[in-house]
Amino acid sequence: MAKTHVTMKVNGAEVEGLVEPRTLLVHFIRENLQLTGTHIGCETTHCGACTVDIDGMSVKSCTMFAVQADGSDIITVEGIANADGTLSALQEGFRMMHGLQCGFCTPGMIVRAHRLLKENPSPSEPEIRMGISGNICRCTGYQNIVKAIQYASAKINGVEFQEAAE
Amino acid sequence: MNDLTPTREQRTAALEGMGCKRKRVEDIRFTQGRGNYVDDVKLPGMLHGDFVRSPHPHARVKRIDDSAALKVPGVLAVITAETLKTVNLAWMPTLAGDVQMVLADGKVLFQNQEVAFVVATDRYAADDGINAVIVEYEPLPPLVDPFKAMNADAPVLREDLVGKMSGAHGPRKHDNHIFEWTVGDKDLTDAAFRKAEVTIKEMISYHRTHPSPLETCQCVCSFDKIKGELTIYGTFQAPHVIRTVVSLIAKLPEHKIHVIAPDIGGGFGNKVGAYPGYICAAVASIVTGKPVKWVEDRIENLTATSFARDYHMTTEVAATKEGKVTGLRVHVLADHGAFDACADPSKWPAGFFNIVTGSYDFPTAHLAVDGVYTNKAPGGVAYRCSFRVTEAAYCIERAMDILAQKLNMDPAELRLKNFIKAEQFPYHSALGWEYDSGDYHTAMRKMMETTGYAALRKEQAERRAAFARGETRDIMGLGISFFTEIVGAGPSKNCDILGIAMFDSCEIRMHPTGAGIARVGSKSQGQGHETTWAQIIATEIGIPADNIMVEEGNTDTAPYGLGTYGSRSTPVAGAAIAMAARKIKAKAQMIAAYKLEVHEDDLEFDIDGFRVRGLPEKFMSMKDICWAAYNSVPPGMEPGLEAVSYYDPPNMTYPFGAYLCVMDIDVDTGVYKVRRFYALDDCGTRINPMIIEGQVHGGLTEAFAIAMGQEIRYDEVGNVVTGSFMDFFMPTAVETPHWETDFTVTPSPHHPIGAKGVGESPNVGGVPAFSNAVNDAFSFLGSTHIQMPHDFWRNWKAAKDLGAVA
């Protein structure tokens, strides 16, 4: 099948590649770019394990063609850590609040939460729950993911994190 | 001592041992997308395999034409049953003593059954190849309803078994019958029912569902023709078992098979068994000489690999007028689908369903389970539960509520009246188990006090009166569940898989600088073993958990273990870890005695080293002992500091818990709201409370999904209609309730550290709590039992059928 040349910025680096028109963005990211943090869980846009950030929006890369992302600016989970390599507030929050278990949904969840906190730096619990409702987690029951995002929100806003009472 | 000498508390805290909320080691890589899951494995020259699947639930395969497929660019091979017959692999044994087609051999028996395996240079080309394979079918009448499986005119599904009136578990009554399993004293139980003042009888169904971890089942197989070695990376909850099974069925020497389970994206029972994809990828690698990857998609996962439940339980309880239970009689019709591929210990065709007497002191009970074939996917896995234990817990917990309703007694009071008392442990149940420990009354009363149970009942009475007056359209339900699990399979006297006893194992090797590695026969799929196993060792030998690396999943390096499922990791592998650590500690004590120039018996272990009794300044840290192990051991002692333990548990463990669900349902829409959910768990000694709470949250969420909507459903002609996350209920953060957790601690008396396992308790206990809440809400309108799953439509329908909605 004829291939198309695409270029995009991924985690700050200019990348390019030859893809079939039908190549899904998630496969381009995982196979061509070797960035395997972005996962595939359902292929029907339900689970959100494949969530990446494209031009400031959370996008499920399993139902988008790589050619549709030509020219765009993408952040994957590999681009979330601080510039010095330390864990970002969100990554730290997920660890401190036990917001992950098997880790399979985590990249998509963190990339989604990253955009959520840009859209709304101090979300309420219902806003967080609605904000991550495109991402399914089978292990945690979400309660500690909510806390992880609250932790990150507090840290980003420079306020002390107060864990909600049980 | 001076101000810089750490206190005992500081020394203990520095270990991050048992009981502390140690943050997880795994999270550093997982939060950065640096996990290594099977689909991340990419070998040079790797090919991709994918399945042609049957659109029919029951059909004869007349012809498979792969000629067009082989012309598709990138397609290298099409494997069919005929190919597999040349290596005697067209069928494979199941863990339950049955055989299963790897690829359709003459017939297909369920929709989406594997028919041919297309091997291509990439996954897109494999998909093109699938579309070019022509399969001609002759449809046959499908058998969907298990209650019709043994009718005289039922279509015969398994032609390979026709005339064989005996199977792996005894006599067969019909060509579609798999086994009948009976336990208990029938005569005594029948007599109890004849004498009973009060009886109840209800057919309680636990519908078919699916574990559906977020990562599907997948593998990469690589056969090295020169060395004759097969390497398999796979999503395996039990990698050693996979190695042995592959060796037995592929006739390859076991030492030339390397099974590696890397990071696993959730298992929940789905990744215990062996599936056609693994066999086909291995054969494809042998045929092509290249590594072959097989990755299931979600539809394939939901429709072909390992459903759970599908138990239809006719349940009878006998009792006195005062509410003392006198007998239990259960008949189960078990729908196993097209092949009996249950992942149970080999001698247990219905798992440990005979835990069905639950937390109650039944003087007698009788149980019979009939397994039947239908045109549905094979499986019957333990979805986040020990084998068939969630079915048993649901059965008895619903039955107790139904009995309470008949007696017009509060269901909490009925349970308190019938609990096994703390002083009765160890307790021998009427169906043959020896419960190791429990304190049910304390747990139940704590739940009732913490939740304000009495006040909630009062509110419910007021709300019902208001409903009767037409002032509200909401009904309120209180769902109690008091479950007893049986986990930690298991003692070699009664548990094996294909003849291998269900022990587990640990090998610890301490390095000179006071760090070490522990290799364990279990396999984490998210449970955090790298974190918690190190905590056990830290407390046992006084080396900080941060200095212990835990490794699992590589069959070349880990000692043989039976893997992680049925909440067996902590009860069995956890015990092996403690025992291996104690061997390390025993040798360390001898080295310390030699170095401190005292007798071993003059030493006592003190947090992180050995101290001479009565001479507190004479102390040798474990770190220093590790160094000494490599340069100055006592004369005659071998140098080094390592140990291995294979632990055969003397008994199962019996975690229990008291749950309460408070639910409001709008009768006009069926929409429910979980107002409150309280879960008290007693899993014995708690290794890491943070991880326990996390597991309880997750298990409750899966229980919520199952009880309130998650179902693998077939239409009347055998089409599976819930084959994607569009139709298969997966709760998001919006639907998922808030969870309140609590605990009591009743250590297991036979486990080295007193731990019992917890990961599955919330699923086992959660489902009856939700279902009892719904049933309790509707009970005042005249219903006794409404089948799960309780989605909005079914709730509305129940209200309508009961006359509450015009």
Domain boundary among A79, A109, A129: A79
Burial of A125 (0-12, 13-18, 19+ CB in 10 A): middle
- pLDDT in the model for residue B383: 95
A92, A139, A140, A149: best to mutate for the B interface, most B CBs within 10 A: A139
Tell me the nearest-neighbour CA distance from A159 into chain B, angstroms.
22
pLDDT digits (tens, 9 = 90+) for B398-433: 999 999 999 999 999 999 999 999 999 999 999 999
User: Which residues, listed in sequence order, are joined to residue A60 by a DSSP beta bridge?
Assistant: A51
Contacts of B680 in chain A (CB under 8 A): none
Q: CATH number of the domain at B8-35+504-647, out of 2.40.160.10, 3.30.365.10, 3.30.70.1400, 3.50.50.60? A: 3.30.365.10
Spatial contact of B418 and B408, defined as CB atoms under 8 Å apart: no
A140 closest CB neighbour out of B28, B698, B734: B698
**Listed residues A47, A79, A111: the one ending a domain:** A79
The verdict on residue A97 lying in a domain is yes
Query: B343-352, B533-542, B638-647: lowest mean pLDDT where?
Result: B343-352
- Residues of B with Cβ-Cβ distance to A63 under 8 angstroms: none
- Residues B293, B232: Cα–Cα separation, whole Å: 10
Outline where DSSP puts E strands in B511-562: 516-520, 548-552
pLDDT at A165 > cutoff 60: no
Residue B174 predicted with pLDDT over 60: yes
Identify the residue among A142, A146, A149 best suited for mutation to test binding to B, counting B beta carbons within 10 A and taking the highest: A142
Q: What is the DSSP string of B124-148?
A: HHHHHHHHH-EEEEEE------GGG
Active centre residues of B (catalytic): 237, 384-385, 760
Query: Which residues, 6+ apart, have CB-to-CB distance to B774 below 8 Å?
Result: B477, B479, B663, B665, B672, B707, B786, B790, B795
CATH for A31: 3.10.20.30
Nearest CA in chain B to A95: B27
State chain A's mean pLDDT as an integer: 96
CB-based contact A47 B24, cutoff 8 Å: no
**Which residues of chain A are within 8 Å of residue B47 when distances are taken between CB atoms?**
none
- As a whole number, mean pLDDT of residues B198-210 equals 98
Closest partner residue to A141 (CB to CB) among B31, B34, B700 is B700
pLDDT tens digit sequence for B506-526: 999 999 999 999 999 999 999
| Alpha-carbon distances, residue B470 vs B466, B473, B666, B804 (angstroms) | 6, 7, 13, 11
Q: Shortest Cα distance from A23 to chain B (angstroms)?
A: 8
Mean local confidence (pLDDT), B655-665: 98
Fold that domain B38-141+216-264+271-304 belongs to in CATH: Aldehyde Oxidoreductase; domain 3 (3.90.1170)
Q: Which domain holds residue A130?
A: 89-156
List chain A residues with CB under 8 Å of B123.
27
DSSP B310-343: EEEEEEEEEE-TT--EEEEEEEEEEE-TTS----
Q: Which residues of chain A have a CB within 8 Å of the CB of B266? A: 101-102, 104, 138-139
In sequence order, the 6+-apart residues with CB closer than 8 A to the CB of A133 are B732, B733, B734
pLDDT for the residue numbered B795: 98
Closest CA to B293 of B204, B388, B402, B217: B217
Identify whether the C-beta of residue A66 lies closer than 8 Å to the C-beta of residue A39. no
Q: How many domains does chain A have?
A: 2
What is the enclosing helix (H) or strand (E) of B589?
Answer: helix B574-596
Please report the pLDDT score of residue A1 as a whole number.
74
Residue-level pLDDT at B498: 86
Residue A49 and residue B740: Cβ atoms within 8 Å? no
Tens digit of each residue's pLDDT (9 = 90 or more) over B461-484 = 999 999 999 999 999 999 999 999
Residue B806 is predicted with a pLDDT of: 86
Closest chain A C-alpha to B207 CA, distance in angstroms: 20
A126/A124 Cα distance (integer angstroms): 6
Q: What is the pLDDT of residue B292?
A: 98
Architecture of the structural domain at B307-489+652-801 = 2-Layer Sandwich (3.30)
Alpha-carbon distance B395 to B691, whole Å?
29
Q: What is the mean pLDDT of chain B?
A: 97
Instruction: Report the predicted TM-score, pTM, of the whole model to 2 decimal places.
Output: 0.97
Structure tokens at B359: 């937390």
- A54 and A93 part of one domain: no
Contact yes or no for A43 and B297 at CB 8 A: yes
Locate the chain B residue with the closest alpha carbon to A49.
B214
- Contact between B110 and B376 under an 8 Å Cβ cutoff? The reply is yes
Closest partner CB to B31 (pick from A22, A43, A95) = A95
Which of A24, A47, A79 terminates a domain? The answer is A79
Identify the pLDDT of residue B343: 86
Q: Report if residue A131 sits inside a domain.
A: yes
Pair (A150, A117) in one structural domain: yes
Tokens read off for B517: 């590695």
- Give the whole-number percent of chain A exceeding pLDDT 90: 95
Q: Is the model's pLDDT at A52 over the cut of 90?
A: yes
Which amino acid belongs to residue B491?
A: P
Residue spans of the domains in chain B: they are: 8-35+504-647, 38-141+216-264+271-304, 307-489+652-801
Token pair belonging to A63 = 């139902």
Q: By the CB < 8 Å criterion, does A156 face chain B?
A: no
**Residues of chain A positioned with their CB less than 8 A from the CB of B525:** 102
Is the pLDDT assigned to residue B3 strictly greater than 80? no
Residues pairing with B609 in the sheet:
B621
- Residue A163 located in a structural domain: no
Q: Would you say residue A61 lies in a domain?
A: yes
Residue B2, pLDDT score: 61
Domain annotation covers residue A133: yes
Reported as a single tens digit per residue, the pLDDT across B779-806 is: 999 999 999 999 999 999 999 999 999 8
Query: Do B38-141+216-264+271-304 and B307-489+652-801 fold alike per CATH?
Result: no
Chain B neighbors of A166, CB-CB under 8 A: 740-741
Confidence (pLDDT) at A164: 65
Of B26, B697, B730, which is closest to A46 when you measure between CB atoms? B730
pLDDT (average), residues B697-723: 98
Q: pLDDT of B130-144, one tens digit each? A: 999 999 999 999 999
CATH of the domain at A102: 1.10.150.120
How near does any CA of chain A get to the CA of B266, in Å?
5
Residue A98 sits in the same domain as residue A46: no
Average pLDDT over residues B205-221: 98
Q: Are residues A150 and A98 in the same domain?
A: yes
Q: How far apart are CA B673 and CA B473, in angstroms?
A: 13
Q: Do B698 and A138 touch (CB under 8 A)?
A: yes
How large is the average pLDDT for residues A16-42? 97
Which chain A positions have a beta carbon within 8 Å of B35's beta carbon? 37, 103-104
pLDDT score of A19: 97
Neighbour count for residue B549 (Cβ, 10 Å):
16
Q: Give dist(CA B683, CA B668) in Å, integer.
A: 41
Nearest neighbour of A98 by CB, restricted to B39, B212, B694: B694
Tell me what pLDDT residue A80 has.
98
B-proximal residues of A, 17-76, CB under 8 Å: 20, 22-23, 27, 30-31, 34-44, 46-47, 49, 76
Q: Which of A30, A104, A133 sits opposite B266 (nearest CB)?
A: A104
Question: Most A CBs within 10 Å: which of B22, B214, B216, as the mutation test of the A interface?
Answer: B214
The answer to the question of residue A65 being in a domain is yes
CB A102 within 8 A of CB B525: yes
- Name the residue among A22, A94, A102 with its Cβ closest to that of B526: A102
Question: How many CB contacts within 8 angstroms connect chain A with chain B?
Answer: 180
Show residues of chain A in contact with B706, CB under 8 Å: none
Residue A157 touches chain B, beta carbons under 8 Å? no
Would you say residue B252 has pLDDT above 90? Answer: yes
Chain A residue with minimum CA distance to B24: A95
B769 CA: distance to closest CA in chain A (Å): 17
Residue A135 is assigned to a structural domain of this protein:
yes
- Whether the pLDDT of residue B1 is over 70: the answer is no
Mean pLDDT of B547-573: 96
Kindly state the average pLDDT of the residues B282-310.
97
pLDDT digits (tens, 9 = 90+) for B66-91: 999 999 999 999 999 999 999 999 99
Q: In the predicted model, what is the mean pLDDT of residues B541-545?
A: 98
Best to test chain A binding among B21, B23, B27 (most A CBs inside 10 Å)? B27
Q: Check if A121 contacts B (Cβ < 8 Å).
A: no
